[in-house]
Amino acid sequence: MILMSVDPQSLTLAIYPAKILVERANDVDPADPKVQAVAQRMIEMMFEHNGVGLAATQVGLPWRIFVTRNQNDESDSVNGVAWINPVLEVIDKAIDIEEEGCLSLPKVHGNIRRPIAVRISGHDAQGNPVADESSEFIARIWQHENDHLDGVLIIDKMSAMDRLVNRKVLRNLERQQ
């Protein structure tokens, strides 16, 4: 587990087709202050970009960290939750199909099939062990962000029709790189 030196304030959002977005992330030490600082900065960035979740690969780091909005906070506060080295387990195999977008794939949307309910465990931004489970919208967010940590994008899970609908936007993103 080798951590590169990183300035959390210098993190920027990786946009498709950045190579980091298709790389598998590595476990990190949840007690490492650098990891905790990056997790805190990622929460800030998620809110700055009006997202509901953000994975470390989306900010250029091959680290197994993602952040989400706090599902228990209905206010407009900048309150997020970090998941360091998350592990997901499907607890209801029933499938739901919902439209998803992604901060790293601007203007790309598609109907994505996901299990309805999952259990998650990992460490929080202070390095403490945490676990939760849900069949609410947050379960979809956990799965989306965890996919990022495995190098999987929503375009990899889209139907052929959704890929066709998004083809022009994806080509424009590829040309901009």
Active site residues: 145
- The Cα 115–Cα 107 span in angstroms is 24
CB 94 within 8 Å of CB 47 = no
Q: Which amino acid makes up residue 174?
A: E
Enumerate residues 6+ apart whose C-beta is below 8 A from 17: 173, 174, 177
User: What values do phi and psi take at 16, rounded to 5?
Assistant: -50, 135
